[in-house]
Amino acid sequence: MYNDLLIVFSNYNGMRTKNDLTSPRIEVTVNSFKEKVPYYKNLNVLLLDNNSNDGSDKLMESLVEEAGSKWKF
């Protein structure tokens, strides 16, 4: 049903925690999406990283591994 839909998250240095965030910004964003969309594992999701130098690229890789085979980094 959702095969034609692609969700894209773009990241650059998403480990920042400004504005009183207790978790990295990219993690908060992706987890918020997962909470609001219970069928997230069935969606095609692409996580893009724009050459981050703060380790957030590694965090995004782990988020993809948790989500399943339709998510790509």
Q: How far apart are the first and last CA of the chain?
A: 22
Q: pLDDT tens across 31-57, in order?
A: 999 999 999 999 999 999 999 999 898
Round the average pLDDT of the chain to a whole number and report it.
89
pLDDT-derived band at 13 (thresholds 50, 70, 90) equals confident
Q: How far is CA 6 from the centre of its chain?
A: 13
Asked if pLDDT for residue 67 goes beyond 80, the answer is: yes
CA distance 60 to 11: 9
